[in-house]
Amino acid sequence: MTTSAPAPGPSGGPDRELLRRYHEHGDVSAREQLVERHLPLVRSLARRYAGRGEALEDIEQVGTIGLIKAIDRYELTRDVALTTYATPNVVGEIKRHFRDRGWTIRIPRALQELNVKMSGAVERLTVRLARSPTIAELAVELDATPEQVLEAVEAGSAYSPVSLSASPGTEDDLDLMEVIGSEDEGFARTDDRTSLEPALGELPERERRILRMRFEEGLTQTQIADRVGLSQMHVSRLIRRSLENMREALSG
């Protein structure tokens, strides 16, 4: 496998200059350029962990956090290329993510495998039937019983969500919200405890967009899935995770 990530020499090159601008002058745009330049490396490393029940783009997002930490921790006195320094950071972040998100309870392999097949079955049947399939229809498609289908769906939810407000690693790790959060003007803000909008701006852009489509534009999960290029089940998980993380952020 090859990557198109830049590989500057340890002592010079564009990376070195960008790192100097960021660390010595606080130039945030230099940091953004560094992230941009090394995203192919993150994508390449993330692909190694695909097919383990986690969407590739989520793994890439986690890997990007590792890249940002590497950039922030890089010491200019080091005579090592950023690519070399960042790789173990990115891999470590992804591994930590899988460890933290691992199956929280012991799930029989057959149910895990049925869960993995579920998303594709839902998509196929939704297209074929032009509506959301019933549990019975899914059972026939998957050659399983309705009870097994329901258990497999629940097996998927045993995959514990990572809190956006929880540092995934050591105490000095960046808070995910600090990395990806920004102001959102799409939803109004109130102090009502059951209102979630004060925390909305802390979500990644993709999640904010999905929430807007679901709760402002009234699109179904399937329609949203078509627009953002994800499965309906993935959209469902993102909506749940976003609402729960927003609530945790408000109560925390």
Q: Which residues bind another protein (CB under 8 A)?
A: 122, 131-136, 138, 146-147, 150-151, 153-154, 157-158, 186-188, 190, 192-197, 200, 211, 214-216, 218, 220-222, 232, 236, 239-240, 243-244, 247
- Residue closer to another protein, measured from CB, 48 or 131: 131
- Residue closer to another protein, measured from CB, 5 or 122: 122
Name the minimum Å distance from CB 212 to another protein.
9
Name the minimum Å distance from CB 99 to another protein.
20
* Half-sphere CA count of 67, side-chain side, radius 13 A: 24
The one-letter code for the residue type at 88 is P
Closest residue by Cα to residue 233 from 39, 34, 55: 55
Cα distance between residue 168 and residue 62, in whole Å: 10
Name the minimum Å distance from CB 37 to another protein.
36
Name the minimum Å distance from CB 224 to another protein.
11
- Residue closer to another protein, measured from CB, 171 or 191: 191
Cα distance between residue 166 and residue 143, in whole Å: 40
- Residue closer to another protein, measured from CB, 41 or 250: 250
Run of H or E residues at 175: none
What tokens appear for 40 in the block? 């192919």
CA distances from 82 to 35, 40, 89 (A): 11, 13, 11
What tokens appear for 158 in the block? 């045993």
Name the minimum Å distance from CB 158 to another protein.
8
